[in-house]
Amino acid sequence: MRLMRQARAPMAILGVLVALALGACLSTPRGSTAPSLQVAAAADLRPALTEIAQAFEARAGTKVVLSFGSTGQLTQQIENGAPFDVFLAANEAFIERLRQNGHTLAGTERRYARGRLVLVSAPQRGRPLEDLAALGAPAIRYVAIANPEHAPYGQAAREALEAQGLWESLRPKLVYGENIQQAMQYVQSGQADAGLVALALALPSDLPWTLVPQELHQPLDQALAVLRRTHQEAAARAFADFVLGPEAQAILERYGFESPGGTP
């Protein structure tokens, strides 16, 4: 009898373990959640893309985690193995660089918008500056731009100032943000008297602004790609398609972006 009791005990324990395992298997599809989609994006997209991501989540049921920064720095992070699924750059040249080095899924590289550069004034000024030459006035002590070394809007700002013959004379006044969002913050806080920033950041603010003529700098054609490292290719492709779709394009237009005008 003892032997039989000893035999039944392990069998009973095994039965409990099997039941628990089966229960876990049966409950996993209903209770589990898909991994979040990791999206890296240029800092000028913060207001617009936040809205776009919310709309995508509502329709697709996929959580989107956004990471904003300068396009150049995000590109370096991706090259060094950062686990992003999709990248939205502020300049298509960086998407092309990633494509050439095998970091994108072939055929997913597409333009999604063209950005615009604007001249903004600090809140205390109360009125927009007329043109870039106004930055030379003694009352303008500091001018904020994104770092031209890795931020496309910073590079565009430099090109515009050079085209007007103002770069060298204004260099002592320039303060650099790590990205265009930080440059905008310098102006909003009054740390800078003026700045050259993205229209997409100026529109939601209360800062006075003036458009910088596009012919003064290379076009800010912005492009995206699904990254080769993604483990969620279907969701990543769906998000990229959504950004190019009518709902997301209407949101981008509200924030001052122009039509993308084709593929890179």
Q: What is the mean pLDDT of residues 192-199?
A: 98
> Phi/psi at 212 (nearest 5 deg)?
-90, 125
3-44 confidence digits (pLDDT tens):
333 333 333 333 333 333 333 333 333 444 668 999 999 999
Q: How confident is the model at residue 3, as a pLDDT?
A: 30
Q: How confident is the model at residue 262, as a pLDDT?
A: 53
pTM value is: 0.85
How large a percentage of the chain has pLDDT more than 90? Answer: 82
Tracing tokens 């776009």 back to the chain, one arrives at 52
pLDDT at residue 263 above 60?
no
Euclidean distance between CA atoms 155 and 157, whole angstroms: 5
119-132 confidence digits (pLDDT tens):
999 988 778 999 99
Q: How many CB atoms lie within 10 A of CB 190?
A: 12
- Domains annotated for the chain, with CATH where assigned, are 37-114+220-254 (3.40.190.10), 116-216 (3.40.190.10)
| Helix H or strand E segment including 89 | none
Q: How confident is the model at residue 35, as a pLDDT?
A: 81
Q: What is the mean pLDDT of residues 244-256?
A: 97
pLDDT at residue 255 above 90?
yes
Listed in sequence order, the residues at least 6 apart from 256 whose beta carbon sits closer than 8 Å to its beta carbon are: 115, 116, 198, 199, 200, 202, 203
138-158 confidence digits (pLDDT tens):
999 999 999 999 999 999 999
The pLDDT mean for the chain works out to 88
